Amino acid sequence: MKAKTQKLLSESKTARWIALALISLTMFFAYFFVDVAAPLQSLLERNHGWSPETFGMLGGSEFFLNVFAFFLILSGIILDKMGIRFTIITSGLAMLIGGAIKYYALTESFATSGLATFLESFWTSVPASAKLAFFGFAIFGVGVEMAGITVSKTIVKWFKGKELALAMGLEMATARLGVFAVFRLSPIFAEKGGAVNSVAWGVAFLTVGLLLFLIYTIMDLRLDRQLGEEKELEHEEAFKISDLWLILKNPGFLAIAGLCVLFYSAIFPFQKFATDMLASKLDISIRDAAAMFSYFPIGAMILTPFIGAFLDNKGYGATMMFYGAILLTVSHLIFAFVPASVFNHAIAYSTIVILGLAFSLVPASMWPSIPKIVEERFLGSAYGLTFWIQNIGLLAVPILIGWSLSASNPGVSEQISAGIEGAKYNYFVPELIFAGFGVAAMILSLVLKSVDKNKGFGLDLPNKQ
């Protein structure tokens, strides 16, 4: 190979941190939109006729196309075949289009349209606004998950052998800040214009995010031109569709993917119900409950980069996943078993902090571990498969939680819709379900440690070379 005549752009600390900032800010806006309706469950129930089952189906609809149409697996293949720039622009456009459809579903213009009349003619138990919102959110879900795997591979491209876990931790921390922002801002936006106003702001943020993705592609193009010589040498080892089987045969990959779906099933669906759960248990307003829960991602946002730096220098990734699963289980057991008569603000904040610690430990150690167990040439497909398996849980669990909430609280939905004072849900059964996922994650994290010991993946070794 010829000697390099210029310094690679990725060797410049300034350049690679700017690249990280661009893609991380877009994920901030994406995560804001993911949960833009999360603090608005009761508002949607009163003003749009959405039951808990309908609200749960909205959460699940984000993952429908990714799971049943295999879009996430396809996204990983597209990423490995077409490259980062094509995939990142496609993901940004899909997020914006899907978000715009979800916004339109909540407008008066849609409510009086022929499309609304048509959608009301079937599946009559679900409002037309919800059906169209499901469709838009499903398209958005294709984009946001495609963006997730692309961002992961992008960070590996710029930071492999350097500050990989720290970079991934900072990206996740920025995304977590989007969750904090949505629980703070969405109720305020809704007070000034209803749920549709909150979603409108989310669409505006997605537009800014797409522009940042476009700016990033300029840097990516320059780096690829510098790497052109190496790319030609690696062409003979390009990803093949048959390599999916090699990924699925890898016991380390299966263990991490299983841990991923269990862990995230007890986090992201919970976020969508957490505001109403806290409001019901503490007998406080939705706005106050949303403000309280907004601190959940703050702990993760602060701690994740430090945990990433520790993993880069000291290791113990597999061990961190086990500890995170323990904290996850403990937090949901507290929410389930501490009675409302004892449950106070101090206990609520403490439990939210415990859950935030779990949300720091597991993702910060899990995502940088995948490059240790699969070859780089099909890293995009490995991330795509992981996200696809994760999305199965994220599709099913919100629907399961919505159903369990109604089934364990007969008649409450009708009372809330009728505006009866004091009507509220008891979240004991949903919290037991979330805790069950935590227990299963603990078991699987021990399996992962055993596989790592036998196969020598080095998951507990430092990332820095």
Whether the full predicted model's pTM is greater than 0.85, yes or no, is no
**Looking at residue 241, what is its pLDDT?**
66
Rounded average pLDDT over 206-232: 86
What topology is assigned to 10-455 in CATH?
Answer: Growth Hormone; Chain: A; (1.20.1250)
State the DSSP H helix or E strand holding residue 419, giving kind and residue range, or none if neither. none
Q: Between these two residues, 119 and 362, which has the higher pLDDT value?
A: 119
- The structure tokens listed for 37 are 């309706």
**Looking at residue 232, what is its pLDDT?**
43
Helix runs in 11-111, H state only: 13-34, 41-48, 52-61, 64-68, 71-82, 84-105, 108-111
Assess whether pLDDT exceeds 90 at residue 432.
Answer: yes
- The structure tokens listed for 78 are 């597209």
**Looking at residue 351, what is its pLDDT?**
95
Concatenate the DSSP letters of all residues of 8-21 into one string: -GGG-HHHHHHHHH
What is the overall mean pLDDT for the chain? 88
DSSP state of 4: P
- Which residues neighbour 118 within 8 Å (Cβ) at sequence distance 6 or greater? none
Whether residue 441 contacts residue 256, with contact meaning beta carbons closer than 8 Å, is answered with: no
Per-residue pLDDT of 280-310, as tens digits, reads 999 898 889 988 988 887 777 778 788 888 8
Where exactly are the structural domains of the chain? 10-455
Per-residue pLDDT of 253-288, as tens digits, reads 999 999 999 999 999 889 888 988 999 999 898 889
Amino acid at 65: L
**Looking at residue 6, what is its pLDDT?**
62
Rounded average pLDDT over 110-137: 93
Whether residue 437 contacts residue 398, with contact meaning beta carbons closer than 8 Å, is answered with: no
Distance in angstroms (rounded) separating the CA atoms of residues 24 and 31: 10
Assess whether pLDDT exceeds 90 at residue 447.
Answer: yes
Per-residue pLDDT of 412-424, as tens digits, reads 888 877 778 878 8
